[in-house]
């Protein structure tokens, strides 16, 4: 529905030899919308699973790829907003699930109440409209009369004037359209998540040789090159296989010690 296949399909077809088919008459909005009129089905990964299982039932195929995005505080920098994209490959026949991730702070979800069409147009242009889409609604929490498919400045002006002409309406709410096909920066993050998915698919478990032998834990404590005390930087990575449960801890290749500038003792 939101043209994610433009960035996902070429990568998976070239790197994994998968023929991608986009199903017809399949409504992914049923599993949650960024416009908040439909709640997401579970957390981010669960929503992607719901889509994958539903599309396999819809098409009769046993291999599915689904994408799901979210916005919120950065996990390590709480005052910074970020966008996390995941791309899930679900192989029902072989009972294999592999996920690719990409987090970016370059994407900002914006929204503001405005009292005139002129103000709305200026705001939309500052956000990058029409390349970056916008959505207009009566108020921030209103799920009625949501205008999503606005493509030109004239359409935007017309929608805003119509909403503002209603009795007792002093302001309306305009926000960035975070659906993938109307958000170029998010589409780039989906592409990077697909690249990560391929990397994880090509990482085979040493025990059972199944794809998806991925990092599940980062072990900190890399010693400072000056004082030798442990730092908060990663020294080892723990890999595990979801299929057979095998795990392995590996040192980070080429990383022996931390720069003193990253040491709380040397650089408090």
The answer, yes or no, to whether residue 84 has pLDDT greater than 90, is yes
**CATH, residue 134:** 3.30.1490
Res. 124 pLDDT band, cuts 50 70 90:
very high
As a whole number of angstroms, the distance between CA 50 and CA 240 comes to 24
Domain that holds residue 210: 204-268
Both 85 and 14 in one domain: the answer is yes
Both 101 and 195 in one domain: the answer is yes
Both 86 and 11 in one domain: the answer is yes
Q: Mind listing the pLDDT tens digit for each residue in 152-181? A: 999 999 999 999 998 888 999 999 999 999
Both 243 and 163 in one domain: the answer is no
Both 16 and 97 in one domain: the answer is yes
Both 195 and 217 in one domain: the answer is no
Task: Single out the residue of 163, 184, 186 nearest to residue 173, CA to CA.
Answer: 163
Helix spans in 72-219 (H):
117-126, 153-164, 184-201
Q: Mind listing the pLDDT tens digit for each residue in 26-65? A: 888 777 776 677 777 778 999 999 999 999 999 999 999 9
Both 118 and 169 in one domain: the answer is yes
């Amino acid at each position: 529905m939101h043209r994610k296949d433009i960035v996902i399909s070429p990568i998976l077809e070239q790197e994994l030899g998968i023929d991608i088919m986009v199903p017809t008459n399949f409504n992914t909005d049923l599993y949650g919308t960024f416009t908040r009129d439909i709640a997401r089905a579970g957390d981010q990964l669960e929503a992607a699973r719901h889509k994958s299982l539903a599309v396999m039932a819809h098409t009769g195929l046993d291999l599915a790829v689904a994408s799901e995005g979210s916005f919120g505080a950065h996990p390590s920098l709480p005052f910074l907003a970020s966008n996390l994209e995941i791309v899930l490959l679900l192989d029902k026949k072989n009972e294999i699930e592999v996920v690719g991730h990409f987090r970016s702070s370059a994407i900002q979800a914006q929204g503001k109440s405005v009292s005139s069409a002129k103000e709305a147009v200026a705001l939309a242009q500052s956000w990058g409209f029409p390349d970056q889409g916008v959505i207009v609604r009566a108020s921030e929490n209103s799920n009625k009369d949501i205008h999503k498919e606005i493509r030109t400045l004239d359409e935007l002006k017309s929608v805003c004037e119509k909403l503002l002409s209603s009795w007792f309406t002093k302001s309306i709410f305009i926000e960035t359209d975070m659906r993938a096909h109307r958000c170029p920066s998010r589409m780039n993050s989906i592409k990077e998540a697909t690249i990560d998915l391929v990397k994880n698919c090509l990482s085979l478990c040493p025990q059972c040789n199944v794809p998806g032998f991925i990092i599940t834990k980062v072990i900190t404590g890399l010693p400072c090159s000056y004082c030798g005390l442990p730092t908060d930087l990663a020294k080892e990575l723990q890999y595990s296989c979801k299929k057979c449960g095998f795990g392995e801890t590996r040192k980070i290749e080429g990383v022996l010690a931390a720069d003193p500038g990253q040491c709380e003792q040397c650089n408090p």
